[in-house]
Amino acid sequence: MLWVKSFHIVFVASWFAGLFYLPRIFVNLAMVPPGSEAERARLLLMARKLMRFTTILAVPAVALGLWLWLIYGIGLGAGNGWMHAKLGVVLLVLGYHHACGRLLRKFEAGPVAHSHVWFRWFNEIPVLMMVAIVVLVVVKPF
């Protein structure tokens, strides 16, 4: 079980690294001046590659988490409300990941309606979700 848990942590940390950096690329894309096609193309290429890599990392992170939950029974049974809350936050992380993919497609289609300031705030969301997950898993408040 410790091997599964170790690899789960590694893949989750790697997945979040991508979710931390991808919106940072969106900030830069939102700041590209009109007519700077080479800069825009370079940033879009970086964003596409990072999105693909982040998605690949998410799959084993979720699969190993399900393994720990369903096979080893971590978080099952009475008094494990923290696990239900954690799973809720994980669903939010998956939604955020999906939203990043949608935003990337919008950038590929042309200019987006949001400013670089909006993307700076959007970039903070995965930090809050990761803090929530770590607190729920370590502290187990309920």
Band of pLDDT at residue 131, cut at 50, 70 and 90 = very high
Distance separating alpha carbons of residues 136 and 138, to the nearest angstrom: 6
Nearest to 133 by CA among 96, 106, 78: 96
With 90 as the cut, is the pLDDT of residue 74 above it? Answer: no
Band of pLDDT at residue 63, cut at 50, 70 and 90 = very high
With 90 as the cut, is the pLDDT of residue 79 above it? Answer: no
Band of pLDDT at residue 67, cut at 50, 70 and 90 = very high
* pTM flag (> 0.85): yes
With 90 as the cut, is the pLDDT of residue 141 above it? Answer: yes
pLDDT at res. 123: 97
